[in-house]
Structure 1
Amino acid sequence: MTWEPRPVPEVNPETSCYWQAAASGELLVQECTDCGLVYHYPRSLCPDCFSEHVEWRESSGRGEVYSYSTARTMSGWPEDDLPLIVAYVALDEGPRIMTNIDTDPEDVAIGTRVEVRFVDTADEDVSIPVFVPTDA
């Protein structure tokens, strides 16, 4: 899978640790030390109890497809990257992450086990997590 000319995510203080870890091949989630919620997308407050006591935690990078859709044509999207599978993956740690599945559409179904891979971007400090099917 190529990435450009897709846009590179905007890095801000709440997400910089997440993107730096991704560039190093690690998928991070956050955990609230007050209520125990493990969540994704990075934010400074727990989305459940609004506590500021949150910590970064490395994810196993494994999960299963919760939901997905396949785009076979997209105006302005690189032809080589079609069809594009957009999915929610339920990580083994609990949270769901919106992502792409890098495989043939015939190889994806709800419940398919997947693991994370990282796609480099034009910004060396940002890599994008995508998922591929796995037997594990």
Structure 2
Amino acid sequence: MSDIVAQTLPGEQIRITTDTATEPFWQAAKEKRLVACQCADCGHFRMPPTPFCPECQSTEKNWPELSGRATVYSYVVVHGFPGLPDITLVPVVVEFADAGQARLVTNAVGVNPEDVQIGMELTVDFVDIADGWKLPVFRPSAD
């Protein structure tokens, strides 16, 4: 087993853009809260947020706060990144127990890439990125 630990790109290199559909997600992340877009009419969760519900076409939204617990649905290990040859990234698709079938593409951090597996339990954390925003990332659950 190696002693490599997955991380994110340096925060100052991560920039986001928002629009009316995604702004509530990013504002909540600034407060270290994980939220998901939920249709206010049919209850369908969707991530990433979209202007209308793919199930019923409603434009009405709620933004419930999630527990922050997720499981790995899919992942890949990336060794090196342009300009950062020694970095190891583990992009993951996570699924939330408290948000229907909603999934989020994010990063697993603070874990040996060899230990990541489908179904692994993770917990949200937030890292500072450019322009005062915070990025939700996921660490192995303590329990």
TM-score where L is the length of structure 2:
0.84
Which whole-Å CA distance do the structure 2 matches of 1:56 and 1:5 have between them? 27
Match of 2:3 in 1: none
Matches within 5 A, 1:24-103: 24-76=31-83, 78-79=84-85, 82-93=87-98, 94=100, 95-102=102-109, 103=111
Q: Residues 111 and 73 of structure 1: is their aligned pair in 2 closer, same or farther, counting only changes over 3 Å?
A: same
Which whole-Å CA distance do the structure 2 matches of 1:3 and 1:73 have between them? 13
- The one-character-per-residue Cα deviations of 1:27-50 (angstroms, maximum 9, x if unpaired) are 110111222211211222112221
1:3 aligned to which of 2, 10, 16: 10
Tell whether the 8 Å contact from 2:11 to 2:127 is kept in structure 1 after alignment.
no
Aligned with 2:131: secondary structure? coil
Match of 2:113 in 1: 105
Tell me which amino acid in the other structure corresponds to 1:113: E
- The one-character-per-residue Cα deviations of 1:54-88 (angstroms, maximum 9, x if unpaired) are 21111111110000000012223x346x2100110
Tell whether the 8 Å contact from 2:14 to 2:130 is kept in structure 1 after alignment.
no
Of stretches 25-34 and 110-119 in structure 1, the one that deviates more from structure 2 is 25-34
Tell me which amino acid in the other structure corresponds to 2:59: E
Q: Does residue 20 in structure 1 map to residue 27 in structure 2?
A: yes
Aligned with 2:118: secondary structure? coil
Between the two proteins, what is the percent identity of the paired residues? 36
- The one-character-per-residue Cα deviations of 1:65-114 (angstroms, maximum 9, x if unpaired) are 000000012223x346x210011001112311000000220221101000
What is the root-mean-square deviation of aligned Cα atoms in Å? 1.6
TM-score where L is the length of structure 1:
0.88
Gaps (5+ residues) in structure 2?
Answer: 1-6
Q: How many residues align?
A: 133
2:127 aligned to which of 107, 119, 122: 119
Gaps (5+ residues) in structure 1?
Answer: none
